[in-house]
């Protein structure tokens, strides 16, 4: 899976998986007893999980490990991922009349926005590959 992508794409790629999949992979080790997932503590970031020296992005919308599910993605999300925001769907609501908020002199806010996202089709070189579970 790692070698499927072009080396230029690989150097900017991320691993994408569900939180429970990351927890499962974190408990695995290679044949020499080294953990598959390593953590890097950086100057600006705290404990970034790494697999094969590439960062892991946790995506709760991906399926967990199971038969016939694409549970792990590896690729360049900056080039192949597009997000669409729905016009006139963003609003912010202020709450001031709740009894518990009046007592403490605070107000609450709620915001809402509709968006959709998808992967772009490949042009010349593939930008993503996925790991599919089999039964």
Domain membership of residue 110 (yes or no) is no
In the chain, the number of structural domains is 1
Q: Tell me which residue range forms the domain holding 56.
A: 2-83+117-132
In a domain, 91, yes or no: no
Burial pattern 112-135, b for ≥16 Cβ within 10 A else e, equals eeeeeeeeeeeeeeebbbeeeeee
- Return d(Cα 135, Cα 130) in angstroms, integer: 16
Q: 44-56: per-residue pLDDT in tens? A: 667 889 998 899 9
| Each residue's pLDDT tens digit, 73-108 | 888 877 777 778 888 888 898 887 777 777 888 888
């Amino acid at each position: 899976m790692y070698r499927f992508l072009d080396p230029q794409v690989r150097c900017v790629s991320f691993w994408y998986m569900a939180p429970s999949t990351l927890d499962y992979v974190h408990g695995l080790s290679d044949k020499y007893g080294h953990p598959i997932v390593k953590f890097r503590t950086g100057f600006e970031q705290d404990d970034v999980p790494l697999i094969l020296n590439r960062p892991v992005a946790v995506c709760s919308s991906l399926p967990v490990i199971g038969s016939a599910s694409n549970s792990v993605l590896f690729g360049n999300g900056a080039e192949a991922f597009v997000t669409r925001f729905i016009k006139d769907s963003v609003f912010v609501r202020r709450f001031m009349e709740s009894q518990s908020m009046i007592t403490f002199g605070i107000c609450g806010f709620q915001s809402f926005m509709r968006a959709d996202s998808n992967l772009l089709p490949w042009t010349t070189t593939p930008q993503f590959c996925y790991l599919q579970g089999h039964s």
